[in-house]
Amino acid sequence: MILISNPDQSQWTEMLKRPVMNTENLFDTVRSIINRVKAEGDRAVLEYEEKFDKAILSSLVVSAEEQAEAETLVSEDLQAAIRLAKQNIETFHAAQRFEGKKVETQPGVACWQKAVAIEKVGLYIPGGTAPLFSTVLMLAVPAKIAGCKEIVLCTPPGKDGKVHPAVLFAAKVAGVSRIFKVGGVQAIAAMAYGTESVPKVYKIFGPGNQYVTAAKQLVSLRDVAIDMPAGPSEVEVLADETANPVFVAADLLSQAEHGADSQAVLVTTSARLQQAVKEEVERQLALLPRKEIAEQSLANSKLIVVRSLEEAIELTNAYAPEHLIIETADYMSVAGKVVNAGSVFLGSLSPESAGDYASGTNHTLPTNGYAKAYSGVSLDSFIRKITFQEIKPEGIRAIGPAIEVMAANEQLAAHKNAVTVRLKELEIEN
C-alpha cells in the first residue's frame, strides 16, 4: 500500500484517482456481440456461451428440476443465512414505500403522484471467481416489494452447464420469475432486446466486468434503462487514533479481495495508526485464500495521514467513496458532515461486510466518484412516479390567465388557445 502524509489540497485530485477502466476501448467488440444477439437471438447466445463460458447448452432456461436440485445442494446453515439476509433486506426496503400526497396548489387545482412498478426488470449476476448470491437478494427483493410483474435473472453457467446452487436458492427465496444460463455481453443484449427464450426487459440491474459495463452503457443509449454507471468497487476507512488497527486492516482487505482493480483507502489523523494498519494488513494478507487478488488491489490502495478531522472529512467528500467506514471516537458527529458517499458504516462494529450481506441496506452502490450525483439501488430504483392533475372550473379560472400570458410570450399560440377555449366555454355556461 502507498503511504502518504499530510498531502497538500492541490495534490488531492491526483492522489484520489481510481484504477482506470476505459470501457470505450471495448465498444466495437461489445457492439458486434450485441448486434449478433439482436439479429440471431438464442442461436447467437448459445454459441457465445460455448465460446466464453465453455458451456455447451441445449437450453438457456434453468428448469424447475434444476432449481429443486439446487436446494438440496445448499447447506442448512447457508440457507438459514440467506433467509435471514432476505428478511432484513425486505424490512429495510419495505420501509421505503412511497406514499403520494394530493396537493391543492390553487383552489380547484389538485396535483399528486402515484408510484408504479417497472413491469419487467432484468438482473445480471456475475459468475467468475465467486458466486454472488448476495446480489440476487439485493436486486430481487426490492423488485418484488416494488411489484415488478416480471423479474428475469441472467447468470453464466459453469463448464458443466449448471448455475451455482446458492444463486438458484437465493433466486427462489427472493421471488425471481425466470432464470437463464447466460453471462457476459450476451446476457445484457438478450435482456435488452429479447430472444426466443429471454424476454425483453425495461431496466437492467447488476454488476459485471468491464465488458458487461460497456454493454450496459451501449444498450442504455436508446433501448433500455440501467441502474447506474459502474466501475471497480472501493472502500474508504476514516479513522482517528481510537480506531482498532486490526479492524481497519480487515476492512481494507475485505474490499481488496473483491478484485485486482478494487481500491481501499485509509484516511486518518494518526500517523501511529497508519503504521499499525500497514503492519496488520501485511499480517492478515498472508492468511487470505485470495491473497494474490488482494495484493494486486493493494497496489492501488493508499494509507493517508491528514492534519485534522475536518480535513479528513473534506477529503472524504472529495473522494465520494462507494463504501465509507467511520471509526472515530465521535462517529455520529463525523457522519453528519458526510455529503458524498454510497453507503456509510458507523463505529468499530459496523464492517462493510454487514451491508454487503445481511444488515438490510443495499450493496449495489455508485462507484468511481458517482456518489456525488447517484444513489445506490433502493426501492425507488424499481418504480416510476406518475403525476396526475385535476383542474376544476375555479382552478382553470385561477391559473388560466397566467398560462395564456406565459404561452403567448413563448410564442406558442396553440398552448394559449387550449386554455382560452375552456375559459370561453365556462363564460358561456355562466
What Å distances lie between residue 174 and 84, 90, 312, 315, CA to CA?
Answer: 12, 9, 39, 38
User: 93, 164, 323, 363: which one is catalytic?
Assistant: 323
Quick one: pLDDT band at residue 258, thresholds 50, 70, 90?
confident
Domains contained in the chain, number: 3
Which residue from 323, 307, 330 is spatially nearest to 361, judged by alpha carbons? 323
CATH of the domain at 253: 3.40.50.1980
- Residues 55 and 91 both lie in one domain: yes
* pTM attached to this predicted model: 0.95
Residue 4 near residue 302 (C-beta atoms within 8 A): yes
* pLDDT tens per residue across span 64-81: 999 999 999 999 999 999
* pLDDT tens per residue across span 3-39: 999 999 999 999 999 887 678 889 999 999 999 999 9
pLDDT of residue 6: 96
CA 196 – CA 331 distance, rounded (Å)? 53
- Residues 337 and 397 both lie in one domain: no
Look at residue 385 and tell me whether its pLDDT is greater than 90.
Answer: yes
Look at residue 386 and tell me whether its pLDDT is greater than 70.
Answer: yes
164 is catalytic: no
User: 234, 257, 280, 322: which one is catalytic?
Assistant: 322
* pLDDT tens per residue across span 325-357: 999 999 999 999 999 999 999 999 999 999 999
Residue 9 located in a structural domain: no
* pLDDT tens per residue across span 98-134: 999 999 999 999 999 999 999 999 999 998 667 899 9
Residue 333 located in a structural domain: yes
- Residues 369 and 253 both lie in one domain: yes
Question: Domain of 326?
Answer: 231-375
Please list the residues that pair with 188 across neighbouring strands: none
* pLDDT tens per residue across span 200-234: 999 999 999 899 999 999 999 998 999 998 888 99
- Residues 133 and 192 both lie in one domain: yes
User: Binding site for Zn(2+): which residues?
Assistant: 255, 258, 356, 415
The one-character DSSP state at 377 is: P
Average pLDDT over residues 312-322: 98
Which residue from 105, 113, 112 is spatially nearest to 398, judged by alpha carbons? 105
User: Binding site for substrate: which residues?
Assistant: 233, 255, 258, 323, 356, 410, 415
- Residues 309 and 335 both lie in one domain: yes
- Residues 199 and 333 both lie in one domain: no
pLDDT of residue 189: 98
User: Binding site for NAD(+): which residues?
Assistant: 124, 186, 209
- Residues 186 and 239 both lie in one domain: no
pLDDT of residue 129: 64
- Residues 370 and 405 both lie in one domain: no
- Residues 240 and 208 both lie in one domain: no
Residue 383 located in a structural domain: no
Residue 213 located in a structural domain: yes
Residue 198 located in a structural domain: yes
* pLDDT tens per residue across span 166-208: 999 999 999 999 999 999 999 999 999 999 999 999 999 999 9
* pLDDT tens per residue across span 390-412: 999 999 999 999 999 999 999 99
Hey, which bits of 141-233 come out as E strands? Answer: 150-155, 178-181, 203-205, 225-226
Residue 1 located in a structural domain: no
Residue 15 located in a structural domain: no
CA 416 – CA 424 distance, rounded (Å)? 12
- Residues 211 and 236 both lie in one domain: no
User: Binding site: which residues?
Assistant: 124, 186, 209, 233, 255, 258, 323, 356, 410, 415
Domain boundary among 195, 226, 257: 226
Percent of the chain with pLDDT over 70: 99
CA 337 – CA 98 distance, rounded (Å)? 27
Residue 13 located in a structural domain: no
